[in-house]
Every structure is written in C-alpha cells, then in structure tokens.
Amino acid sequence: MTVVTRFAPSPTGLLHVGGVRTALFSWLYARRMKGKFVLRVEDTDRERSTDEAVRVILEGMQWLGLDADEGPYYQTRRFDRYREVIAGMLAAGTAYHCYCTKQELDALREGQLARKEKPRYTGLCRSRTEPRPGVPPVVRFRNPTDGAVVVEDLVHGPVSFQNAELDDLIIARSDGTPTYNFCVVVDDMDMGITHVIRGDDHLNNAPRQMNMLRALGSTPPVYAHVPMILGPDGAKLSKRHGAVSVLQYEEEGFLPDALLNYLVRLGWSHGDQEVFTRDEMIAAFDIHDVNKAASAFNNEKLLWLNQQHMMRAPPARVVPYLQAQLRRIGIDSNDQTLLEGVILAQRERAKTLKEMAQSSRFLFVDSIEVDPQAAAKHLNPEGLGRLGQVRERLAALSEWTAPAINAALNELATQLAVGLGKIAQPLRVAVAGVAVSPPIDVTLGLLGRERTLLRLDSALARKTA
C-alpha cells in the first residue's frame, strides 16, 4: 500500500514553525515511505481566511523545499462534493436535520455547565420527522451511542474514547455550508490519505472523524498526533512568543535546511546525531520515534545549527542565499568566485547569512567608514607608522595570494621584532573599518591589491591630518 500523507493548514493565521514542523513530519514520512504528500488548504472559514495567509503557506513551503505531489487543494472549491455526501448521509440516516435554535442550544449548554456536567447536545432532534416551521435546520451526524472508539495512534499508542462521551456534531450549518470536522473526513477519504499526521490538539477529534468515516463505509486512516511546539518561555506559541511567519526566518538569514533540521529534532531524535542533511533526515525519520511531550523553541540552538549548515554545505549552494541578503543591504554582486570566497572566510564567524552579509559589506563597496573606536585603538601613530612599511611590502608583492601576503607580513613582523598582531590589527582596521574580520591574509586576498592599497593610503592620510 502506498503511503499518502497530507498537510492541511488553515489560512486563518500566518504559517509558523509549529505548522511547519507538522508539515515536515508528514513530508518526511511520505518521502521515507516512497509515498505521496498532499497539500490542502482548509479555507472553509471564509470570514477569517486571508489571501496573505495562503501566500505565506505557498511561499513558505516552497522556500523550505517541502514539495507536494498533489495540490494545493482548496476546500472552498469542493462545496458541491460536501453537499453530495451530506445528502447521501441524510438519505442513509447516518445524519439528520436538527431544528434546535442557537438560543436553545446556548441555554442547554449553560444549564449543563451550571450543573457541572460536560456540555453536549442531547439528541433532541434525533427522531424528529417533521420540520419546524421557520427554523432553517443544521445537519448533525448520528454518532453511535454505545461502545468505544479506539484510536491506534502511532505516537501515543491506543487511546480509547467512549461513544457516550461524544455527541452528535453539526456537519452542515443552517446556511448549508459544511463544517471543519466534516470536510476533513470527506477530504481525507476522497484523497486516499493513509496517514494523518497532525498536532495533538486534534486527538480529541479523531474518534468523531473515525465514526463518520465508518458511517461512510470508509476505513479510517492511521493517525499520528504529534506534540505541539511551545514558545521559548514554555508557554503556548503565540504572536508574542515567536509565532511569526515562517518567511521571517528567510529574512533573518536562515538556511531552509537548518530550520528543518532544527524542527525535526523537536520531538524526534536519531541516536546522538544533531546535524542532518535533507537526505539523512529522510533516511532516518520514522514517525514511531516521535515523542509525546511538547517542546519549547530554542533560538540559540537554531542559530548554532544554521552555522553548522553554512559550514558544511558546499559554498556554491550557499551563494544564492548570501546574494539575497546582500541585496537587502544594497549590494548586487554576481562574482561567483568572490562570493564563494566570502562564504568560506566568514561562515565560521556568522550565525546567519544576514550577519554574514553585514560583516562582509566592506569587501563589496568602494569606500568604507572607519569605526572611530577601532581607529583610536589601532590607527594611532604607532600603528600608522607600521602601515607605511606594510604598504611598501604589499605593493612590491609579485603575486596577490593569501600565502604570499601572509609570508610578507610575517617577515615584516620579524624584522620589526613585534608580534603579527601589531601589524595585523592596524591593517585590519584600515581595510575593513573595524577590528574584526577573517584572518588578515584571507581578508586582503578577497579585497584585492588595488583596494587594499587605496584603503591603506586613506588610512595613512590620517597621519598628517
């Protein structure tokens, strides 16, 4: 049997890391099992759904490389199908019209709550045969009244629910539109979903959905309810606590593989391995190894993983992402050799590509600003004195390579009987404008002789100024 999983986000809020991880688990499982992954947008709530949210889902999934084999499907385009199924259930008696008004239902609920009972529909209209004039009816599912439903959950194990605890839920509103729990059931059935992997906030919905599926003569899929992701403070993920659009991570300079790697390790592990390539994730992932407990999002570890991925990936693969970040700060470079060189030089001192772009800016622009504090410390008379000699040496170099530069600087240091630092720091501030950069020979190599000498000249001009 071919495995078919799906990701079914609702576009009522922006897709965030919690949703992404559910999508990732579904995608990984499908890929691992050589099955299919379906994307379905659950937009039946027309009031709260937004085009912006749909855009973030589509763009986010694309940025992350979580490619769907089918879809995106939209529930709003399937209303005819839902109506058809409801008509069938009405005819078969597995659903019935309910003429209770909202007001009556509210009163019922209040009474139950007041008596400290579980609020539930009592089945008043179950055996009603005549319509109630003037009341547009809703359609309710006729849930079995006795026995139990067991959800054989892949992460929780068997979870048993008494049918007596489940009431007859509304599957079509009085205006005829279908409700969420019903649409999910029809869609999962029609789309041949074999494994439903979703947040464990849906565990309570599973027994009702299984009952409906059975009433429709369909075999329920296998369920896997994965734990939720909490904010860094251990509280529920919310707007205030990191529930930002997934595209925010792109803007901040994260590699999609790093985010995915971080998220897959929230609730899942494979021995002591922390860093996974996409293929390694697919090869190692198994839904059975997913934990039951919710986990808190930790930004420091994400940062660390992002750097690990920047360091391990072939530079050429990182180039487009660096270019995107450079463009954000007004630099448009297509110099592949330079860009790869920058990545090689900077990746062990940057946590994000945004950071890398910023600290590499001096390598791409014509003129730089020198940080006053760094200048005060290193471009003092003593430092500037040495820079004159540095300039001579560098100008005389026959080839402009890091090893040649390094040799020349070390020679000069020995000759002056000082540590390399006494030469490298003034030089660094002169060419980079700050006291921090990759190794000085690498930095100069990337900068090029012409710009190096130019910047030395403008630094040396301070002497007289």
Partner RNA sequence: GCUCCCUUCGUCUAGAGGCCUAGGACAUAGCCCUCUCAAGGCUGUAACACGGGUUCGAAUCCCGUAGGGAGCGCCA
User: Is residue 280 involved in binding RNA (CB under 7 A)?
Assistant: no
Does 421 participate in binding RNA (rule CB under 7 A)? Answer: yes
Residues 399-418 that bind RNA (CB under 7 A): 406
Options 40-48, 213-221, 313-321, 391-399: segment touching RNA (CB under 7 A): 40-48
Window 306-325: residues binding RNA (CB under 7 A)? 307-308, 311
Does 160 interact with RNA (rule: CB under 7 A)?
A: yes
Residue 81 in contact with RNA, rule: CB under 7 A: no
What distance in Å separates the CA atoms of residue 438 and residue 374, rounded to the nearest whole number? 16
Stretch of residues binding RNA (CB under 7 A), selected from 116-124, 243-251, 388-396, 453-461: 116-124
Smaller CB separation from RNA, 207 or 221: 207
Contact set for RNA, span 322-381 (CB under 7 A): 348-349
Torsion of CA 245, 251, 252, 253, to 10 degrees: 130
Cis peptide before 119 (omega within 30 of 0): no
**Residue 74 binding RNA, by CB under 7 A:** no
CB of 8 to RNA, least distance (A): 8
Contact range with RNA by CB under 7 A, out of 77-85, 212-220, 285-293, 322-330: 285-293
Q: Which of 256, 341, 438, 445 binds RNA (CB under 7 A)?
A: 438
Residue 338 sits at the vertex; the CA angle it makes with 333 and 343, to the nearest 5 degrees, is: 100
Binding segment (CB under 7 A) for RNA, from list 94-102, 187-195, 239-247, 360-368? 94-102
Options 14, 246, 294, 356; binder of RNA; rule CB under 7 A: 294
Our finding on whether 439 is near RNA (CB under 7 A) is yes
Contact flag: residue 271 with RNA (CB under 7 A) = yes
Q: Which is nearer to RNA, 126 or 292 (CB)?
A: 292
Nearer CB in complex with RNA: 106/327: 106
CB of 114 to RNA, least distance (A): 10
Q: For the CB of residue 439, give the shortest distance to RNA in the complex, in Å.
A: 3
Please report whether residue 287 would count as binding RNA according to CB under 7 A: no
Site size toward RNA, by CB under 7 A:
87
Length of the chain: 465
Residues 312 and 309: their CA atoms lie apart, in Å, by 5
Concatenating the DSSP letter of every residue in 222-252 gives EEEEEPPEE-TTSSBP-GGGT---THHHHHT
Measured distance CA(338)–CA(357) in Å, rounded: 13
Out of 17, 57, 64, 138, name the contact with RNA by CB under 7 A: 138
**At what angle are helices 315-328 and 336-346 packed, to 10 degrees?**
100
Q: How far is the CB of 464 from RNA (least distance, A)?
A: 26
State yes or no: residue 211 binds RNA (CB under 7 A).
Answer: no
* Buried/exposed 310-342: b ≥16 CB within 10 Å, e otherwise: beebebeebbebbbebbeeeeeebeeeebbbbb
124 binds RNA (CB under 7 A): no
Q: Which residues are known to be catalytic? A: 239
Gyration radius (Cα) of the chain, Å: 31
Identify residue 223 by its one-letter amino acid code.
Y
Among positions 163, 174, 277, 333, the unique one binding RNA when judged by CB under 7 A: 174
Taking CB under 7 A as the binding criterion, the range among 59-67, 124-132, 253-261, 291-299 that sits at the site for RNA is 291-299
From residue 213 to residue 252, the character string flagging contacts with RNA as x (rule: CB under 7 A) and all else as - is: --------------xx-x---xxx----------------
d(CA 431, CA 446): 11
CA 108 to chain centre: 43
Alpha-helical (H) ranges within 1-78 are 17-32, 51-64
Which is closer to RNA, CB of 235 or CB of 329? 235
**Binding test (CB under 7 A) with RNA, winner from 42, 168, 187, 355:** 42
Cβ of residue 429: shortest distance to RNA, in angstroms? 10
CB 109 within 8 A of CB 76: no
By CB under 7 A, residue 93 contacts RNA: no
Name the helix (H) or strand (E) containing 141: strand 138-141
Q: If you count DSSP H runs as helices and E runs as strands, how many of each does the chain have, helices first?
A: 19, 12
Mapping DSSP to helix (H, G, I), strand (E, B) and coil, where does residue 58 land? helix
Residues 6+ apart with CB under 8 A from 464: none
